[in-house]
Structure 1
Amino acid sequence: MSEEKGLLHGVWETVKTVVYALLIAGAFRTFLFQPFWIPSGSMKDTLLIGDFLFVNKMAYGYSYASCPSIRIPAVGIDISAEDFCGVFKGSDSRLFGSEPERGDVVVFRHPTRGDDFIKRMIGLPGDRIQMIDGVLQINGEAVIIEEDGFFIETYEQQGPLGNTPMCMNGSVGIGGDCMKERMYETLPNGVRHAILNARDDNPRPFTDNSGVYVVPEGEYFLMGDNRDNSGDSRVPATQRGVGFVPLEDIVGRADRIMFSSAGRSMFAFWTWRSDRFFKAIE
């Protein structure tokens, strides 16, 4: 084989390797698991800003929302799952589908914005959901609440977005201790998880006292664990919430944190939270 042919052969083998790798990665992301970074504090302290996890797409089967999305704002790329698989949107069934369970931590597509969100599954089709004096009511029964002291974090800009946390102890200033009440909530099916209460004088009264939400057939009611700082099913999707979430908009279930960084970049190794690596999500 001549030197020129050998060089072309080497280039062709490299191209094939890259193409195969991209196809395998695409299939992995489309059918099995999707990477997800936690960008906000709505699920504290179950999930912290900077946690990285894989979404299990096999948990509930597949819909149009299972298709990957590619968003790279820096170069103007914004291709959503609907762009790839919108032809399948509107279907009442999922391929290999199964129902989400109460208490699951779920990733879903926002009904109007198309972004991926993560919240906890609280209400199933037909449920009646209400907040009374800060306590969740499901079908007329209050969930079990256990006090667990305080969740304390440093008041500072967090993650790539630079958001600052909400504190129940007022304006503590940069570097101060930001406190929230921490409690455990036990749902009717026995799922027990932590929730936070950030303020008692919340200007959004629905966080502590609300009307009754009746979950429609084929839709679900999701809430953040950081109850006073979460735009979720308590607020319509057109008003900075998510409203009821159709089954077809659910991407999958979050089961385990793989990596976590408290800094503005994952490359700032001194901010890595090694105690959260491979931590199961409760």
Structure 2
Amino acid sequence: MSVAKDKSAEREGGLYETIKVILQALLIAFVIRTFLFQPFNIPSASMVETLLVGDYLFVSKYSYGYSRYSFPFGFVPIPGRILGSNPERGDVAVFKLPKDNSTDYIKRVIGLPGDRIQVKEGIVYINDVAVPRERISDYVEVDANGREFRSPRYRETLPNGVSYDVLDSDPNGLFDNTDVYVVPPDHYFMMGDNRDNSTDSRAQLFVGYVPYQNFVGRAEVIFFSIKEDTPIWQVWNWPWAVRWDRIFTGL
């Protein structure tokens, strides 16, 4: 065999190995993303201060089992869920918006199937019992011009003992006083922690009750966080734009 043919065979062999490694890596990434963990980033302030705009987090896909929405573009037509476990009150969960089944939302599980949920004067009632909340220090935001904005902050504790902070920036917010919501079977009632800046199950025409099969997974940990006015690809700004204290924060 000539030297030229040897070199050509080496190049072909090297190209084959490269393609094989790339395909293997893509397959591993697909399996991890579909069955184990999927990354999401936070584009809105509806879950402040639990989640901030610019947070990047991992969502466990196996926590609630698998439905068609566990797969990209919903191309596996699974009826309902398989290997499923039920969301628990207080979970921070990603779900597909029931109105279009394609948009990802992230909120907190407040109401379970069969629950009666109502908000009166900003206080959540579950089955006619007020959810305890304790006034704590204000949540303070500082804008690019150094101006401070304060929002009243409360520590809320659900009946199962899960506690978290919520903001109530408007004492007469749109959803601070609601009718009674009765959660249907196999559905859940979701609310944002930033109560006056969240479109959630209280907005029945836009979100409403979330079917069990629409759950994508449970938020587990923030793996990266950067100020909302800094694109993640601007690595030269990371030293002062990355929120280092939020990295690897559990949820």
| 1:23-79 deviation line (CA, Å, top 9, x unaligned) | 1101110111110001100000001111111110111100011113xxxxxxxxxxx
Same amino acid, percent of matched pairs: 48
User: Which of residues 215, 220, 223 in structure 2 aligns to 1:250?
Assistant: 215
**Residue equivalent to 2:231:** 265
Q: Secondary structure at the match of 2:141?
A: strand
| 1:76-108 deviation line (CA, Å, top 9, x unaligned) | xxxxx23x23x33xx24x111111100000000
**Residue equivalent to 1:72:** none
Q: TM-score, normalised by structure 2?
A: 0.93
The answer on whether the counterparts of 2:63 and 2:218 sit within 8 Å (CA) in structure 1 is yes
Instruction: Give the gaps of 5 or more residues in structure 2.
Output: none
1:16 aligns with 2:20: yes
Q: Which has the larger radius of gyration?
A: 2
1:106 aligns with 2:72: no
| 1:166-191 deviation line (CA, Å, top 9, x unaligned) | xxxxxxxx541111001100000000
Whichever residue aligns with residue 110 of structure 1, its letter is L
Whichever residue aligns with residue 265 of structure 1, its letter is P
Whichever residue aligns with residue 150 of structure 2, its letter is M
Whichever residue aligns with residue 106 of structure 2, its letter is I
Whichever residue aligns with residue 248 of structure 1, its letter is Q
After TM superposition, the structure 1 = structure 2 runs for residues 50-65 of structure 1, keeping only pairs within 5 Å, are 50-65=54-69
- Count of equivalent residues: 241
The answer on whether the counterparts of 2:93 and 2:216 sit within 8 Å (CA) in structure 1 is yes
1:32 aligns with 2:40: no
- How far off its partner does 1:255 sit? 1.4
1:276 aligns with 2:246: yes
**Residue equivalent to 2:113:** 125
Partners of 1:10 and 1:224 lie apart in 2 by: 52
**Residue equivalent to 1:219:** 187
Cα RMSD of the aligned pairs, angstroms, is 1.3
**Residue equivalent to 1:154:** 142
User: Which of residues 159, 162, 169 in structure 2 aligns to 1:191?
Assistant: 162
The answer on whether the counterparts of 2:121 and 2:172 sit within 8 Å (CA) in structure 1 is no
Whichever residue aligns with residue 106 of structure 1, its letter is A
